[in-house]
Chain A
Amino acid sequence: MRLGSRAVCWLLMLTIVGLAAPGRLSAQGTAGRRTVAAVADRDVRDWDSQITRMERSDELRVRRTDEDGLVPGRTHERFDQYYDGIRVVGGELVRQLEKGQTLSVFGTVYAGISVDSEPAMRAEDAADIVAELTGVTLPAARVPDLVVLPRDDGGYALTYRARVMTASDLIIYYIDAQTGDVVLQYSDLETTVGTGKGVLDDTKKVSTTLKNGTYIASDKLRPPNINTYDMKGSLTRTNQYLNGQILLGDSDFASDSDDDWTDQAAVDAHAYAGWTYDYYYKRFNRQGLNNRNLAMTSLVHPVKREEWASQPSSVLNLYYLNAFYAGDGVMVYGEGLPPNVTAGGMKWNYFSGALDVVAHELTHGVTDYTSGLIYRNESGALNEAFSDIMGASAEFYYQPLGNGYLKADYLLGEDLTSPLSGFRSMANPQAFGDPDHYSKRYLGSSDNGGVHTNSGIANQAFYLAVEGGTNRTSGLAVTGVGSANRDKIEKVFYRAFTQMLPANATFAIARAATIQAARDLYGTGSDVDRAVTQAWTAVGVN
């Protein structure tokens, strides 16, 4: 069965769904809880005297004092809050000092605590309760601590806190010191490294978390939360989530019973999101999409593959034959088509199965938080090009050079298609009907003014700046920096596109900004300056 080629033209079209920021805060009660973030002089002075007063009344005790490893002469004091000599869970202040002068105070303290501080049971009794619940007898060194627990529903409880490793989970228990009831229990984070097969049957590692006996695709090893959810083919639920109408919970995580993962789409979405984070971190020292470790959320299986034939073309184009960045760090990966179905003459695999596609989508997030290139006309084409450039660059960072699956090349999305083809080429945009020269740019209005078409011009400029060669349209030759120095051109484009371009940039501005970035980084007249300048000239952007 063949689909119209139009489906293919829509591939990788970015769809920014305006998300109402979902309420992802926990339901923790706030009665009596004071959040402290004192940096202004007066606030700092107030908290200084407050700390002194609370230390005198034994409501605060210094737990530790650390030297600042980055700013010489600074120290950081950590105070725990106490009530009647008992530590208050989560009550903590951190004071930054320089030469005895306070610079900042951050933390949380609880006011109005009222609780009977005389426990009715001993710590050993609480340990017995935990043993009954879990079958684990705590050794004497791990006897539960008496603490005051601020309850989620407000109020406080005198509790014993125990941390218990069972056969399947690491559980924190808070046992009421008066009644022996379990006031609170939760799974402490347990980070694991699983393995799984990706979409192309390649085995890779995945950072997972063991929660309540099941391994979930939640990466706690990297600085941001990187979570992958299995939408189980529910387009309704997918749309509800993207529209902020529902939150996703533990049961929505992509999961595996033994950490040897079999959901290939989830494996690649999860692993490649982490790889992309690492690429940005190691290459550009960037901390995630917003440079502040924004959580990265991947949705796989938004629809069911086998239902493709009954879907309207809009759903087919968006949720089967596409991947998109939905804003706020959320990516949605299309399901592809069943192996016996072709579209545009090709078979289509799960869209998370191509590293360049994943890095492309995540780069839309980076653009969102930096230049904000407007997604139409020339700025839109630059937006798309930057995603392609970073997508291909991530491939070169991780994969061996070559032609074929799981190889680094200048094709986009080739790992998704059979036969190996992809849907764009940076080395030869015209092979897919895209312009490789400004004079051939698309001037119509479809595809937001040809954002996926005219991206070929900037893609070709990047390619020529790295590899060198002759532009097919202008016949102008470029001396590239060479593949061994590709990181220099990546840095030039990254710097220009994230820090120098305005939202409504044109190709001419992109030329000027990348040349300036090259000169700032490597000097005027450097090989890099020359390569970038020649490349833009070769593609007709002056």
Chain B
Amino acid sequence: MNNTPVILRPLILAGVLAMCGLASAPANAQTPSVWQGIGFIAVDGGAQVTSSGYTSNLTFPLHGETATGTATSDAVSGAVFTARGGIRIWKNLALGAGVTVFSSTPDVAVEASLPHPFFFNRPREVSGTASGLTRRETMAAVEVSWLVPLSRRMDMSLFAGPAFFNVRQDMVTTVQFTETYPYDTATFAGVESEEVSRSVTGFTVGADVSYLFSKNFGLGGQFRFSRASTTLTPSGGQSTAVDLGGAQVGGGIRIRF
């Protein structure tokens, strides 16, 4: 969570309070068993904390041979914004949609084996860290929610549905380096990257706890897990398997109508 922007921390705290602290309050005798409203809207900020890392294999032509290498990101975590809404269609069941936007710029460990300019089969090894390589995931989900009133002011909903992901990932394509005569060693200097975009279908499930201050407004928190798998292939490069989504936790405002 150390990638979580400072501004999001109060929102996450609000969500956690709503889900844990307030949820443990004893259920009120007046708790209705059936949700009476028409629909809901939830807007949250938070963090995606358990996205998988990835390792991409690099190959690029250099000095009459092929340079090889890897670019590895151990985990991709970062800020996520979520908006979801729904309309009650039957009893406590609602049909709605959710959108999450996730962005992360983790450090990427790069290792490469660079051909020698004068001789075949005499590679120089370089390694370093590349920064500024961003992944942006946008997920749009159709969500079926079951809303459970917990008290007059609190409710919890469980939701799930198919999710449509679009990912835009900066993929390392070439390793930059410096070398001087006699070129028996080289020094890592950075990378060149290419933004690769891909759309893929996955799923999302989650839970939301809301606490209403008034009839229409409140605060809430949610936990969500989403997942989709795909491969990303920069032009002329190798395919890299990546998992999208992950565990998200966040908090924000709740609207009921």
Contacts and interface: CB of A to CB of B under 8 A. Distances in A.
A195 interface: yes
Interface stretch (B32-40, B114-122, B126-134, B140-148): B114-122
Nearest to B63: A193
A194 B117 CA distance: 9
Contacts of B64: 193-195, 205
A221 B120 contact: no
Contacts of A278: 118, 182
B119 A205 contact: yes
Contacts of A203: 120
Interface in A311-343: none
A2 interface: no
A205 B118 contact: yes
A205 B63 contact: yes
Given A193-B63, A194-B64, A195-B64, A205 B117 contact: yes
Contacts of A221: 117-118, 181, 183
A282 interface: yes
A282 B184 CA distance: 11
B120 A222 contact: no
A221 B117 CA distance: 8
Contacts of A223: 181
A65 B229 CA distance: 52
Nearest to A222: B181
A274 interface: yes
B181 A193 contact: no
Contacts of A275: 118
A268 to B, nearest CB: 14
Interface residues of A, number: 15
Contacts of B183: 221
B53 to A, nearest CB: 34
Interface residues of B, number: 10
Contacts of B63: 193, 205
Residue from B116, B117, B120, B183 having most chain A Cβ neighbours under 10 A: B117
A522 interface: no
A281 B183 CA distance: 12
Interface in B181-197: 181-183
A274 B63 CA distance: 16
Interface string B141-176: 000000000000000000000000000000000000
A278 B118 CA distance: 10
Contacts of B119: 204-205
A207 B120 contact: no
A274 B118 CA distance: 9
A278 B117 CA distance: 13
Given A193-B63, A193-B64, A194-B64, A281 B182 contact: yes
A204 B182 CA distance: 17
B164 to A, nearest CB: 35
Residue from A195, A205, A281 having most chain B Cβ neighbours under 10 A: A205
A207 B182 contact: no
Interface string A202-229: 0111010000000000000111000000
B181 A207 contact: no
Nearest to A278: B182
Residue from A193, A195, A222, A281 having most chain B Cβ neighbours under 10 A: A193
B213 to A, nearest CB: 52
Contacts of B116: 205
A225 B234 CA distance: 38
A205 B62 CA distance: 12
B120 A193 contact: no
A222 B118 CA distance: 10
A281 B63 CA distance: 21
A193 B182 contact: no
A293 to B, nearest CB: 10
A223 B182 CA distance: 9
B105 to A, nearest CB: 23
A195 B121 CA distance: 13
B186 to A, nearest CB: 13
Nearest to B120: A205
A204 B117 contact: no
B165 to A, nearest CB: 33
A205 B117 CA distance: 7
A203 B65 CA distance: 12
29 contacts: A193-B63, A193-B64, A193-B117, A193-B118, A194-B64, A195-B64, A203-B120, A204-B119, A204-B120, A205-B63, A205-B64, A205-B116, A205-B117, A205-B118, A205-B119, A205-B120, A207-B117, A207-B118, A221-B117, A221-B118, A221-B181, A221-B183, A222-B181, A223-B181, A274-B118, A275-B118, A278-B182, A281-B182, A282-B182
5 nearest A-B residue pairs (beta carbon): A193-B63, A195-B64, A193-B117, A193-B64, A205-B64
